[in-house]
């Protein structure tokens, strides 16, 4: 199941995993080898944001050609996909080095040619999109708060709370959009809790830490991705006053659909029969009334070919029930797409606009 991107992205996850330990002040772009880069266009600015979503080798060859390199020698095989937006004010050399770094690679001039090799560790994509990451510890759970470089006024900071457990380069475009609008992004790792009471308790502690100690607004916008829906919707049902809105990406809304009752029961420390007897107390799709009553608006984007989290049993049914209760909810269905890391989901402008506007509104409401 794709809760976060797979392959090389797993090494770049920022949340409660290894990537979280990367210092925020660490340079986002690694310095090349000592051999001087040749004259050419390397010191020219990109001039416009580079927002490709394509195989790493293709993106690097494209940037290399713009800098004047006729060929690129790849010393490391990679199936990585480049997806981190690059700012217009980067030079072509900086852009090339940054693109390589976010894919776990290192670009340098060696033996008279542009060479790409495996890097010791991935670059810090969060700095590239304008953020500063701060580690947040809540008991045994590790989280991350990504702060924008600017703030609008002295009031509470609007924020979007992602679940499940980490951020990775697939989120870079969306995170960058939020940061540029002065919206913070947060995440905490509660493991494979499937929305159980222990995970919800950690969510509460995380929320209280951010709002009481870090100046974040009392009402957050939740961004549940995949199984993150089990965690966020269950927590939100018990704390509707803390939620400004919910915007989801192929979100799990029914324990029976995913992970299924056997695995869910194990996560809840119950037998299957025990969980079924109290399912309405723990199943997001059955706990919508408090959110409707609180006026929480919902927006979901989901593919109609999702075999892992079928849209009809999850976001589709949730939106239907939400509207039946009198709530405001919208579902954007992406034709022909499944449970995949694709720009249709992670560069969805409708979702980005929804998250931004509701986070700002939530920061100014009580």
Q: What is the CATH number of the domain that holds 320?
A: 3.40.50.1820
Q: Which helix (H) or strand (E) holds 133?
A: strand 131-138
Indicate if 101 and 149 belong to the same structural domain: no
Indicate if 178 and 233 belong to the same structural domain: yes
Indicate if 243 and 98 belong to the same structural domain: no
DSSP designation for 20: G
pLDDT of residue 174 exceeding 70: yes
pLDDT of residue 133 exceeding 70: yes
Indicate if 163 and 274 belong to the same structural domain: yes
Domain end call among 83, 118, 153: 118
Q: Kindly state whether residue 14 falls inside one of the protein's structural domains.
A: no
Q: Kindly state whether residue 1 falls inside one of the protein's structural domains.
A: no
Domain end call among 75, 93, 118: 118
Model pLDDT, residue 153: 72
CATH of the domain at 114: 3.55.50.10
Angstrom distance (rounded) from CA 170 to CA 102: 11
**pLDDT tens for each residue of 10-42:** 333 344 333 333 333 333 334 444 467 887 789
Q: Kindly state whether residue 85 falls inside one of the protein's structural domains.
A: yes
Indicate if 83 and 151 belong to the same structural domain: no
Q: For the whole model, what pTM was predicted? A: 0.87
Q: Both tokens of residue 35?
A: 């051999």
| Residue 167 belongs to domain spanning | 125-363
pLDDT band at 70 (very low <50, low <70, confident <90, very high): confident
Q: In sequence order, what are the beta bridge partners of 246?
A: 222, 298
Judged by average pLDDT, the poorest of 150-159, 221-230, 241-250, 325-334 is 150-159
**pLDDT tens for each residue of 333-348:** 999 999 999 999 999 9
Q: Kindly state whether residue 18 falls inside one of the protein's structural domains.
A: no
State how far the alpha carbon of 70 is from the alpha carbons of 50, 61, 110, 311, in Å: 20, 9, 14, 46
Indicate if 345 and 222 belong to the same structural domain: yes
Indicate if 155 and 219 belong to the same structural domain: yes
The per-residue pLDDT of the chain, averaged, comes to 90
Q: In sequence order, what are the beta bridge partners of 108?
A: 115
pLDDT band at 366 (very low <50, low <70, confident <90, very high): low
Q: Kindly state whether residue 71 falls inside one of the protein's structural domains.
A: yes
Q: Kindly state whether residue 24 falls inside one of the protein's structural domains.
A: no
- Alpha helices (H) in the chain, listed in sequence order: 56-67, 92-102, 125-128, 172-180, 197-213, 228-238, 261-267, 272-277, 289-293, 315-324, 343-346, 349-363
pLDDT (average), residues 305-324:
98
Instruction: Give me Rg for the CA atoms of the chain.
Output: 21
Domain end call among 87, 118, 149: 118
Q: What is the count of structural domains for the chain?
A: 2
Indicate if 245 and 294 belong to the same structural domain: yes
Q: Kindly state whether residue 58 falls inside one of the protein's structural domains.
A: yes
336 C-beta neighbours (distance < 10 Å), count:
8
């Amino acid at each position: 199941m794709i809760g976060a991107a797979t392959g090389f992205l797993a090494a770049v996850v920022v949340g409660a995993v290894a990537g979280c330990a990367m210092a925020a002040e660490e340079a986002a772009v690694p310095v090349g080898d000592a051999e001087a880069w040749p004259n050419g266009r390397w010191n020219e600015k990109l001039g416009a944001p580079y927002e490709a979503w394509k195989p790493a080798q293709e993106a690097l060859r494209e940037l290399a050609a713009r800098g004047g390199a006729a060929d690129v020698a790849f010393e490391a095989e990679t199936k990585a996909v480049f997806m981190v937006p690059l700012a217009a004010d980067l030079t072509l050399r900086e852009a090339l080095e940054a693109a390589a770094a976010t894919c776990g690679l290192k670009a340098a001039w060696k033996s008279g040619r542009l060479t790409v090799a495996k890097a010791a560790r991935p670059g810090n994509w969060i700095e590239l999109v304008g953020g500063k990451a701060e580690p947040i510890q809540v008991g045994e759970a590790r989280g991350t708060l990504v702060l924008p470089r600017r703030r609008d006024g002295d009031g509470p900071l609007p924020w979007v709370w992602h679940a499940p457990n980490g951020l990775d380069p697939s989120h870079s475009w969306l995170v960058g959009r939020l940061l540029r609008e002065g919206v913070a992004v947060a995440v905490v790792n509660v493991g494979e809790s499937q929305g159980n009471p222990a995970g919800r308790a950690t969510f509460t502690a995380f929320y209280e830490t951010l709002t009481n100690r870090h100046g974040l607004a009392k009402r957050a916008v939740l961004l549940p991705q995949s199984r993150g829906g089990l965690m966020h919707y269950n927590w939100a049902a018990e704390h509707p006053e803390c939620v400004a809105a919910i915007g989801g990406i192929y979100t799990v809304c029914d324990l029976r659909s995913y992970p299924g009752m056997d695995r869910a029961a194990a996560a809840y420390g119950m037998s299957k029969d025990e969980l079924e007897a109290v399912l309405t107390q723990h199943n997001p799709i059955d706990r919508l009334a408090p959110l409707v009553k609180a006026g929480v608006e919902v927006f979901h984007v989901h593919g109609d070919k999702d075999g892992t989290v079928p849209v009809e049993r999850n976001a589709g049914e949730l939106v239907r029930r939400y509207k039946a209760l009198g709530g405001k909810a919208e579902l954007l269905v992406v034709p022909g797409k499944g449970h995949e890391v694709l720009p249709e989901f992670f560069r969805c402008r409708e979702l980005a606009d929804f998250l931004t506007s509701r986070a700002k509104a939530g920061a100014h409401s009580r």
